[in-house]
Amino acid sequence: MSRQSAQAVIALFDSAQALMDAIPKVRATYHGRLEAYTPYPVHGIEKALGIGKSWVGWIVLGMGLLGLCAGFGLQTWVFTTEYPLVFGGKPVFGWPAFIPVTFETTVLLSAFGAVFGMLLVANRYPHLSHPLLSTKAMKSITRDRFALVCEAEKDREIDEDACREVLSAAGGQDLEVVYESAEIGTGELLSPKGVTLGLLICVIAGFGMKEIIIRFPALPPMNNMDEVFRQDAQDPSAFFADGFGMRQPVAGTVARGFMPAVFETAEEADGVLANPMRMTMASLEHGKVLYDQHCMVCHGALGTGEKMMPAYGGVPANLHSQRLREVGDGHLYHVITHGKNTMAGYGKDIAPAERWDLVNYLRALQRSQDATDDDLRLARTVAANSHTESHHD
Amino acid sequence: MTDRNAAAAPPLLLGLTGLGLLGMIATFFVDGGMRFAANWIMWYMAGVAVLLGALFLITIEHLVGARWSIPLRRVAERVTSLIGPLFLAGVVAAAIGMGFFYEWGTPEFMEMAATDHHLHAKYIWFHPAFFYGRLVFCFLIWGLAYRKFTKASVGQDESKDVAVSLKARRFSAPFIILFAITTSIAAFDFLMSVEPRWYSTIFGVYFFAVAVLTGLSVITLVTIRLIRMGRLPQVRDDHVYSLGGLLFAFTVFWTYISFSQFMLYWYGNLPFEIFWYIDRLEGGWKPLTYALSIARFAVPFFALLSREAKTDLGRLSWVAKWIIATTILDLYWVIFPSFGRMSGGSGLVFNWQEVSFALFFIGAAMIWLRRSQSMGADMPVGDPRLKRGLEFHL
């Protein structure tokens, strides 16, 4: 360093009033950059120093409006375009519900704008140190005295003697000159010292947090609702008289999509359980599919119950017996559902409506093996029609 | 004191007020009692809002030991002198309301209440004797505050008795509770009861926000007028800034309260709550509802947002007038949809009848406030804390 260049001249005053009185006197002759440092906010000092209106307010306004638009826009996009869900019967663009979040984002970004705008823009942070901090004057500024400082513009120096003169003329005491650059760049943060310090802070904070979580388990971190008050399956319960946590459904409960099965035997169902399916072509065709899949293997394609099972010792019913021709639909339905003798029940495999289709098909099958002359004539007519129809196709 | 002449109303003001009175009488005979009652109740409640706003400012000053408002307290105290004429207006409002306007005042109400559980549950509340009793109770409480605050403070100008300030402080704590109760009662009785089936537990707070906004606006206008007349020479920007700040804060508070209620009712969508908003979000009322939210929130919010605006007398003056106008719009929005339901229309009426009421009530209030400016000194000169109030710095 060559001959030291003066960067700032500090003068101290004993009271806020003395400082306020001195400012106009200094400003009358000195036109450089002037700063005041006080232990507490002094009302009106910014006007006396000629500091213009801060534009942090505009930053706050801009950030607030940004938060408003971002918050409202994000919700609008998510709820109307990206993932439209209906909540409580409200329209997907339920804007009244967006307002609280919009309010939060507005306040959040306004606060960021105020704090970071003040620090980064108005106070030109970050810097690790300021030359004034290492002066003797700083001790008294933070205690009970008031400082007026002539500071150099960026990359310039001040006229040390002129500043001394004007400050002491205004009543300033304990004058002190600072010979370093008043501006310390952000480069310091990336210096080995700054990086080391930053890493150190991260490590200490990380281990500190880990230790806190381990040593104070009474304050658990977010546990994703691992522990909730809930009755688990099979757990006993002191609430109910029988001590069981799990409850039986109320008597008469019917599961959705199921019919109650109230008949013990096929005879009981006979004549009481009515066929709800009309005997349509569609019903018969579906019934035939089911018959071929489930029944034909034992009862045979014609329902005579021969040929297949005798080899294995079974005796499947002949579906054309007088007894089975005379029983009601309910009887057949019950046997299909629950089985009979060695025949298994098909209730689990075939839905109720489909069992009735099967009953319809069984009736058609019985009639086909016991047809009257009229039936045969009708069948020929139908076959002829379907033949011509198939030709048309 | 020295400005007795300034307190006398100019002929134009007297003439317009008289014209309003004639229009009001004509309304009664041309349109019948219902429209008269709806307008009267709206303006009466606007007056109650001013009274309660002023009382609140005085109470809060005594209660928390605020310094900034001491030099302006006399302005608020003079505004509370509206209590006398307001009591008369309140009795008239109750009588004509029951006679011509309120559904619960009709002879059929008893039959309706027999089949409607919501009405049945509120039946006792709407008993005329109970209603008048509550009206008298409210004014007794407010009258007590008028004695303990205003009368005592004016007397203190001469006596310089410190005990007056101490008594006011001691009274302010129980009074703030009574203030909350009576404010709610006034809001429930005269405004909410236009829809006797409606439920709202927050309506008292809503009217409180309206009251403080309106009272503060009137106090601001009177203060600005006195400052411009040079009668408050020691009142500085710091005091005015606090007035502007409170106006700004209560603008946000009103928005918060009214939007909270709307959002919760909109979300809950319960039949006995939501119909009040459906009435106001359909037909011609819909644009008025949106206009109200912009006029009452966006305009004063941005007008008072910056630091300079809160000390700019010109800006404060028009914002205060604007807020008073939106208070009337607010009360109109609360009352007149029900007027429409009762009279068989939208209720969205505005004609010479409404102008007459505005002329009369604004004129009468201005005449009364001008007269009250001769009450005591312009500042509470007997209050030992006045000096601290004048030294107030932000």
Q: How far apart are CA A39 and CA A338, in angstroms?
A: 94
Residues A348 and A271 in one domain: yes
Of residues A51 and B253, more confidence is placed in B253
Best residue in B262, B263, B305, B310 to probe A by mutation, most A CBs within 10 Å? B263
Of residues A237 and B300, more confidence is placed in B300
Dihedral (CA of B119, B123, B125, B131) sign? positive
ipTM exceeding cut-off 0.90 for this assembly: no
Residues A201 and A290 in one domain: no
Which residues on B lie below 8 Å from A99 (Cβ)? Answer: 259, 263
> Hey, is the C-beta of B306 within 8 angstroms of any chain A C-beta?
yes
A338 in a domain, yes or no?
yes
Where is mean pLDDT largest: A121-135, A146-160, B35-49?
Answer: B35-49
Where residue A324 sits, what CATH number does that domain have? 1.10.760.10
Would the pLDDT of B284 be above 60? Answer: yes
pLDDT in the model for residue B202 = 93
CB contact under 8 A, B267 and A90: yes
Q: Number of C-alpha atoms within 13 angstroms, CB side, residue B34? A: 20
CB contact under 8 A, A57 and B394: no
**Angle formed at CA B334 by CA B128 and CA B107, multiple of 5 degrees:** 30
Where is mean pLDDT largest: A183-192, A370-379, B189-198?
Answer: B189-198
Residue A68 confidence class, pLDDT cut points 50, 70, 90:
very high
pLDDT in the model for residue B292 = 95
Tell me the β-bridge partners of A178: A8
Spell out the long-range contacts of A66-69 with Cβ–Cβ below 8 A and sequence spacing 24 or more. Answer: A66/A109, A67/A102, A67/A105, A67/A106, A67/A107, A67/A108, A67/A109, A67/A110, A68/A102, A68/A105, A68/A106
Residue A50 confidence class, pLDDT cut points 50, 70, 90:
confident
Which residues on B lie below 8 Å from A96 (Cβ)? Answer: 259, 262-263, 266-267
> Hey, is the C-beta of A100 within 8 angstroms of any chain B C-beta?
yes
Last residue of a domain, one of A164, A186, A208: A186
What does the pLDDT average to over A113-127?
82
User: Which range, of A30-44, A229-243, A297-311, B314-328, averages the lowest pLDDT?
Assistant: A297-311
Q: How far apart are CA A39 and CA B63, in angstroms?
A: 31
CB contact under 8 A, A96 and B267: yes
In terms of Cα–Cα distance, which of A160, A195, A47, A262 is closest to B308?
A47
Q: What is the pLDDT of residues A244-292, one digit of tens each?
A: 888 888 888 888 777 777 788 888 888 788 888 888 999 999 999 999 9
Q: Which residue among B262, B263, B267 places its CB closest to the CB of A88?
A: B267
Among chain B residues, the shortest Cα distance to A91 is held by B267
CA distance B66 to chain A (A): 19
Q: How far apart are CA B50 and CA B34, in angstroms?
A: 25
pLDDT in the model for residue B53 = 97
> Hey, is the C-beta of B302 within 8 angstroms of any chain A C-beta?
no
Which residues are CB-neighbours of B36 under 8 A, at least 6 positions away? B24, B27, B28, B96, B100
Checking DSSP bridges between strand A173-178 and strand A8-13, what pairing results, if any? antiparallel
> Hey, is the C-beta of B267 within 8 angstroms of any chain A C-beta?
yes
Length of chain B: 394
Domain that holds residue A211: 191-223
The residue extents of the domains of chain B are 4-383
Q: What is the pLDDT of residues B43-92, one digit of tens each?
A: 999 999 999 999 999 999 999 999 999 999 999 999 999 999 999 999 99
Which residues on B lie below 8 Å from A61 (Cβ)? Answer: 305
pTM recorded for the entire structure: 0.72
| CA distance from start to end of chain B | 31
Q: What is the CA radius of gyration of chain A?
A: 48
pLDDT in the model for residue B93 = 96
DSSP letter string, B225-239: HHHHTTS-TT--HHH
Residues A308 and A341 in one domain: yes
pLDDT in the model for residue A389 = 55
CA distance B263 to chain A (A): 6
CA distances from B27 to A188, B38, B361, B380 (A): 80, 11, 15, 43
Would the pLDDT of A2 be above 50? Answer: no
pLDDT in the model for residue A186 = 58
Structural element, H or E, at residue B386: helix B386-390
A275 in a domain, yes or no?
yes
Number of domains in chain A: 3
A280 in a domain, yes or no?
yes
pLDDT in the model for residue A393 = 45
Q: Map residue B285 onto helix, strand or coil.
A: helix
A300 in a domain, yes or no?
yes
Residues A28 and A140 in one domain: yes
What does the pLDDT average to over A365-386?
86
Residues A88 and A195 in one domain: no
Would the pLDDT of B3 be above 60? Answer: no
What angle do the packed helices B237-268 and B285-293 form, to 10 degrees? 140
Residues A53 and A165 in one domain: yes
Would the pLDDT of B4 be above 50? Answer: no
Among chain A residues, the shortest Cα distance to B394 is held by A43
Q: For B199, which DSSP code?
A: -
In terms of Cα–Cα distance, which of B271, B263, B337, B327 is closest to B118?
B271
Q: How far apart are CA A47 and CA A294, in angstroms?
A: 98
Q: How far apart are CA A332 and CA A295, in angstroms?
A: 13
Contact between B113 and B123 (Cβ < 8 Å): yes
Q: What is the pLDDT of residues B187-201, one digit of tens each?
A: 999 999 999 999 999
Residue written as token pair 């002094």: A42
**Mean pLDDT for all residues in chain A:** 85
Would the pLDDT of A53 be above 90? Answer: no
> Hey, is the C-beta of B350 within 8 angstroms of any chain A C-beta?
no
Residue written as token pair 């203060």: B223
User: Pseudo-torsion of CA A114, A119, A124, A130, nearest 10°?
Assistant: 160
Residues A176 and A28 in one domain: yes
Residues A201 and A135 in one domain: no
CB contact under 8 A, B263 and A99: yes
Residue A182 confidence class, pLDDT cut points 50, 70, 90:
very low
A208 in a domain, yes or no?
yes
Would the pLDDT of A1 be above 50? Answer: no
Write out the two tokens for B129.
């004797």
Which residues on A lie below 8 Å from B266 (Cβ)? Answer: 96
Residues A15 and A160 in one domain: yes
CA distances from A145 to A7, A142, A325 (A): 21, 7, 117
Contact between B371 and B7 (Cβ < 8 Å): yes
DSSP letter string, B80-143: GGGHHHHHHHHHHHHHHIIIII-GGGSTTHHHHHHH-HHHHHTTTTT-HHHHHHHHHHHHHHHH
Residues A305 and A208 in one domain: no
Among chain B residues, the shortest Cα distance to A58 is held by B306
Q: What is the pLDDT of residues B313-367, one digit of tens each?
A: 999 999 999 999 999 999 999 999 999 988 888 888 999 999 999 999 999 999 9
Would the pLDDT of A81 be above 50? Answer: yes
Contact between B204 and B183 (Cβ < 8 Å): yes
Q: What φ, ψ does residue A343 adopt, rounded to 5°?
A: -70, 130
pLDDT in the model for residue B106 = 87
Write out the two tokens for A380.
């020929």
Written in H, E and C, the secondary structure of chain A is CCCCCCCEEEEEECCHHHHHHHHHHHHHHCCCEEEEECCCCCCCHHHHCCCCCCCHHHHHHHHHHHHHHHHHHHHHHHHHHHCCCCCCCCCCCCHHHHHHHHHHHHHHHHHHHHHHHHHHHHCCCCCCCCHHHHCHHHHHHCCCCEEEEEECCCCCCCCHHHHHHHHHHCCCEEEEEECCCCCCCHHHHHCHHHHHHHHHHHHHHHHHHHHHHHHCCCCCCCCCCCCCCCCCCCCECCCCCCCECCCCCCCCCCCCCCCCCCCCCHHHHCCCCCCCCCCCHHHHHHHHHHHHHHHHHHHCCCCCCCCCHHHHCCCCCCCCCHHHHHCCHHHHHHHHHHCECCECCCCCCCCHHHHHHHHHHHHHHHHHCCCCHHHHHHHHHHHHHHHHHHHHC
CA B261 to chain centre: 20
What does the pLDDT average to over A201-208?
96
pLDDT in the model for residue B370 = 92
Checking DSSP bridges between strand A173-178 and strand A146-151, what pairing results, if any? unpaired
Residue A185 confidence class, pLDDT cut points 50, 70, 90:
low
Residues A44 and A166 in one domain: yes
CB contact under 8 A, B394 and A96: no
A29 in a domain, yes or no?
yes
Best residue in B241, B248, B267 to probe A by mutation, most A CBs within 10 Å? B267
Would the pLDDT of A129 be above 80? Answer: no
